[in-house]
Structure 1
Amino acid sequence: MFDPLSLGAVAIAAMLILAVLGVPVGIAMGSVAIVGLWVTGGANFALSVITNLPFATASDYAFVVIPMFVLMGAIASSSGITNELFRFSNLILRSSRGALYQATILSSAGFAAISGSTLVNAALFTRIALGEMLRLGYDKALSAGAIAAAGTIAALIPPSISFVIYGLLTGESVAELLIAGMLPGILTAAAYMVGVYFFVRLRPELAPEPQPRASLREIGHSALNLWATFLLAALVIGGIYLGYTTPSGAGALGATGALLIALFRRKLTWASLSDNLRSTAAVTASLFIVIIGGLMFTRFFLVAGTVTDATSLMQSLEISPMAFIILLAFVFVILGMFMDPMAMQVMTLPFVYPIVTSMGFDGIWFGVIMVKLVELAVLSPPVGMNLFAVIGASEGRVKLPEIYRGILPFIVIEVIVLALLIAFPQISLWLPGQMM
């Protein structure tokens, strides 16, 4: 009979093999977990988990925040908010070299305040920005890399589905986690923009000559159209920060606000509303399959004793905090080749979170580090998920070798930002400490 650690290793290997063979990750985790529960707890126990856990998860009120955040982003996108953000960002930056790179990063960060999905951000801004970049003569590789990297900001700036999943799986405050991501998200966006500034000065061929400066009237008119973005961000982020509402309530307020804005602007038709509801249902269902499969996987690890033995092993090794983070980053880059960010979190948290807390790390701070590591993984070649989101949305204009070349400078920036977040935990913890 296998010991708990060997049993866990076999289960993870089996799940990864299924994922490589094309089985959806949530189903792969759930299938392996059912077999493992049967072996370790018996048929009746496995049947009890299969019967009760999916219903208990899907009917948990705390999870209502996920479809609300997804719906808010979908309606906001169809109401033209993404185009307004991109236009405004371009107007205020277009007199500088490489303006569209920076405009893409800035507008993606702005849209991250009303959308919690990195893949959605990357795909949307590929459709909005890539064609204009190529038409004006921007470097295709760096353009694709900037769009893919900017998409990851949505995982940090609330409403972030990644933080919601982390909080619900660990018991940490979802509200504090969402607010903790604000400054790291802003820092990431600023680092990308500074990096692009130096890239185009070191290699002027990466961007065309700057365009004429926009008039104050143009900028002012474009800025007035941003009221919808600020209103939705205030409802969600302001409501949580000031303590007026829970994350679930903020999600409902945000979705309602997006719906009213779309109606006010006459951008909502029955067809678009139907599409938004359908896409929200599809995204939510796919997320819940991953979550339920991951929770079954977690239950198996707990029953088998794998989590307890893994925690004891790491403590006995007396590994340093920095070495642990480096090891974790390496593991996540490998996992990023096979699964999406949600699956990585759900699968690794049962092992990682107990080890982290036993080392004395703050759970909120580690939530930020965890999300940052996951997003670094989805940018990393050869199979980063955000890279393929850009390739898919580019309709054949971007090839794999090009986006590999374009993403490398942003991976270097990501590593630098990650190092800053590790070295200075208060970047993540200061704002949650000020919450009301």
Structure 2
Amino acid sequence: MTEALIALTAVLVLAVARIPLGFAMAIVGTIGFAALRGPIAAVETVGQLILDFSMSYTFAVLPMFVLMGAFVHRSALSKDLYEASYAWLGHFRGGLSMATVAASAGFGAACGSSVATAATMGRVALPSMRRFGYDPGLAAGTIAAGGTLGILIPPSMSLVVYGFLTQQDIGRLFIAGIVPALITVVLYFCVVAIVTRLKPQAGPPGPRTAWADRFRKLGKVYGVLLLFVLVMGGIYFGVFTPNEAGGVGAVGACLIAISRRHLNWQAFVDSLIEAARTTSMVFSVAFGAVILSNFVTVAGLPETIANGINALNLPGLAVIITICLVYILLGCVFDGLALLFLTVPVFAPMVVTLGYDLIWFGIVVIIVSEIALIT
């Protein structure tokens, strides 16, 4: 228990010192194993953990969805998504903010990364909101909140990681994320409507778009809907596995980019390089988190926490609320994926003991991670 707390403190110190998080967790975890089991056993344990993780069939889906997102980014769909959303929503008060949320949801459905979604939509939407005199706080908040939809709307890298850690079916997690994502979009719309009603100058309405132009702009983004239906429909009806869906999605995104004349040979190579870099970054964080989380488990932290909760005899809902607060606090420091690798092995057994479903808990974790990501 003491060793685990020292390790977590050391990781926080290294993170504040701007040491890459993956390396910080790997270093601390390896030193921790060496202190408990000796240097030779530590090297053998760390090597086996990395090998087992690298050979995981479940995690093989991740590079495919990353590649799909790279092709979608190259196809310049983000601008068309924003223009289509603006055509239908822009004439309302706060319409540009609503359009940003809607476009973020569409882009997130094909990208799977919150950071990429927020960065892309920021480049597309922020100039328009500035031009129409939107409140800077509302504009920035909309982009940040809309960007977080990328980790909830399937296919999502975070859901893949959670499924790997808890041995839950990736397809069921993807399906479970759809309705909460739609509810989140509607709630974001409601927040924008309330803010602009209380403060009309924060989000003035734009000009109304003709119906013909609305449908014309909507027709430009059929590729995103087609890709989403192809991937999620194939998984839901059992046509292919999540891993096969990742490959189909990557090929589909590539064909969409080609059909839109945005993918030449150089762009194709750049997409492959971008996907390789992103995957390498994710795996470096994953390796470090797997090493540290295993050390923390060996040191007895999960067992100690579980025993403490049992001793307090807290109701299940109180435990879930406490876990959510822990995620929000840790999210101020840790990357979203690193947070999952560190905490899910600790909290998942506890949640099962309380009688909660791990699919449901996974969606709760992702939603709370969205909030933490904004911090």
* Pairing 1:198-277 to 2, within 5 Å after superposition: 198-208=194-204, 210-277=205-272
What letter matches 1:81 in structure 2? Answer: L
How far 1:362 sits from its partner (Å)? 0.7
Contact 2:132 2:206 in 1 (8 A): no
Give how far 1:81 is off.
1.4
Check whether the contact 1:314–1:355 (CA below 8 A) recurs between aligned residues.
no
Q: CA–CA distance in 1 between the matches of 2:372 and 2:84?
A: 31
Cα drift, residue 59 of structure 1: 3.0
CA–CA distance in structure 1, aligned partners of residues 328 and 190 of structure 2: 25
The structural deviation recorded for 1:237 is 1.2
- Provide the residue aligned with 2:284 in structure 1: 289
Map 1:354-433 onto structure 2 (within 5 A): 354-379=349-374, 384=375
Given the superposition, is the C-alpha separation of residues 216 and 7 from structure 1 closer, same or farther in structure 2, using an over 3 Å criterion? same
| Corresponding residue number in structure 1 for 2:157 | 161
Q: CA RMSD in A?
A: 1.4
Whether the 8 Å CA contact 1:41–1:303 is kept in 2: the answer is no
Partner of residue 343 from structure 1, selected from 312, 329, 338: 338
Contact 2:231 2:246 in 1 (8 A): yes
Read off the aligned partner of 1:364 and give its amino acid letter: I
Instruction: Please give the alpha-carbon distance, in whole angstroms, between the structure 2 residues aligned to 1:302 and 1:135.
Output: 52
Query: Structure 2 CA distance, aligned partners of 1:288 and 1:300?
Result: 18
Work out the CA distance in 2 between the residues paired with 1:322 and 1:302. Answer: 24
Deviation at 1:354, TM superposition (A): 1.2
Q: Which residue of 1 aligns with 2:295?
A: 300
State the TM-score, normalized to the length of structure 2: 0.97
Name the CA distance, whole Å, in 2 between partners of 1:142 and 1:256: 37
1:328 and 1:303 map into 2 onto residues whose CA distance is 21
Percent of residue pairs bearing the same amino acid type: 38
Aligned letter for 1:131?
P
**2:58 is aligned with 1:62:** yes
Preserved CA contact (<8 Å) 1:297 1:347: yes
CA distance in 1, matches of 2:269, 2:55: 24
Cα distance in 1 for partners of 2:189, 2:73 equals 23
Aligned-partner Cα distance in 1 for 2:327–2:264 = 42
What letter is aligned with 2:147?
A: G
Equivalent residue, structure 2, for 1:92: 88
Q: Does 1:81 align with 2:110?
A: no
Give, in whole Å, the separation in 2 of the partners of 1:39 and 1:313.
25
The 5 A counterparts of 1:21-36 are 21-36=17-32
Give, in angstroms, the shift of residue 171 of structure 1.
0.8
What letter is aligned with 1:33?
G
**What is the CA distance between 1:267 and its match in structure 2?**
0.9
**Residues in 2 aligned to 1:214 and 1:346: alpha-carbon distance in whole angstroms:** 46
- 2: CA distance, partners of 1:317 / 1:162: 32
Instruction: Report the alpha carbon displacement of residue 351 of structure 1 after superposing the two structures with TM.
Output: 1.3
Measure the CA separation in 2 of the matches of 1:173 and 1:334: 28
Q: Following TM superposition, by how much is the alpha carbon of 1:271 offset from its aligned partner in structure 2, in angstroms?
A: 2.2
Which position in structure 2 is the counterpart of 1:309? 304
Local SS of the residue matching 2:110: coil
**AA paired with 1:15?**
V
For the 8 Å contact 2:117–2:150, the answer to whether it is kept is yes
User: Which whole-Å CA distance do the structure 2 matches of 1:304 and 1:145 have between them?
Assistant: 40
Q: Deviations over 1:64-111 (max 9, x none)?
A: 211111111111121121111111110011221111000000111111
Matches within 5 A, 1:115-194: 115-194=111-190
Unaligned runs of 5+ in 2: none
> How far did residue 163 of structure 1 move?
0.7
Q: Which residue of 2 aligns with 1:394?
A: none
Figure out how many residues of one structure are paired with residues of the other and give that number.
Answer: 375
User: Is the counterpart of residue 43 in structure 1 residue 39 in structure 2?
Assistant: yes
Greater mean alpha carbon deviation, residues 210-219 or residues 360-369: 210-219
Cα distance in structure 2, aligned partners of 1:352 and 1:134: 43
- Aligned-partner Cα distance in 2 for 1:117–1:37: 33
Structure 1 unaligned spans of 5+: 385-436
In 1: Cα distance, 2:303 partner to 2:334 partner = 25
Question: Contact 1:333–1:377 at 8 Å: present in 2 too?
Answer: yes
Report if aligned partners of 1:26, 1:294 keep a CA contact under 8 Å in 2.
Answer: yes
Stretch of structure 1 that moved more, 332-341 or 10-19: 332-341
> Contact conserved, 1:329 with 1:373, CA < 8 A, in 2?
yes
Aligned equivalents of 2:63 and 2:31: distance in 1?
30
Structure 1 counterpart of 2:279, one-letter code = T
Give the CA deviation at 1:44: 2.7
Query: Separation in 2 of the partners of 1:53 and 1:369?
Result: 28
Cα distance between partner residues in 2 of 1:105 and 1:290: 29
TM-score scaled by length of structure 1? 0.83
Say whether residues 1:16 and 2:27 are aligned partners: no
Q: Distance in 1 between matches of 2:300 and 2:196?
A: 53
Indicate conservation of the 8 Å contact 1:40/1:303, yes or no.
Answer: no
- TM-fit CA distance, 1:321: 2.4
2:352–2:358 Cα contact (<8 Å) kept = yes
